[in-house]
Amino acid sequence: MDWRALTQVKELGAVIYNCSCLANDFAKIFEAYWSLGLPNATIPTPWSSAYSTNFNKETPLDVKLNGTAAKVYFSSSPPRLCQKGRTTDID
């Protein structure tokens, strides 16, 4: 294993309960990546609208976390794997 590869991986874990809006939005990212793991998969251009999102840097989802108002969205990378409306990690 190349030890330098370990410096490129950044992960974050979070637990959010009873928020189907966030679960559904994250499922879109998961399903997109899952589809690319199939044999002979290619990156679609454009992505199906089924993977699009309304929650991003400009229009985050308003939620309450432990009684505190918060704004949240999921970003992803690389840009070619970001569907319509998705903010990239670099942004």
* Calculated CA dihedral for residues 5, 25, 37, 78, nearest 10 degrees: -40
Kindly indicate the confidence band of residue 21, based on its pLDDT and cuts at 50, 70 and 90.
very high
pLDDT tens, position by position, 34-51:
999 999 999 999 999 999
Cα–Cα distances in Å, from 72 out to 15, 22, 24? 13, 9, 13
CB 49 within 8 A of CB 84: yes
Region 4-10: mean pLDDT is 59
Kindly indicate the confidence band of residue 56, based on its pLDDT and cuts at 50, 70 and 90.
very high
pLDDT tens, position by position, 27-36:
999 999 899 9
Contacts of 25 (CB under 8 A, 6+ apart): 53, 55, 61, 73, 74
- pLDDT, residue 17, reads 82
Is the pLDDT at 20 greater than 80? The verdict is: yes
Residue in the block written with tokens 């089924």: 50
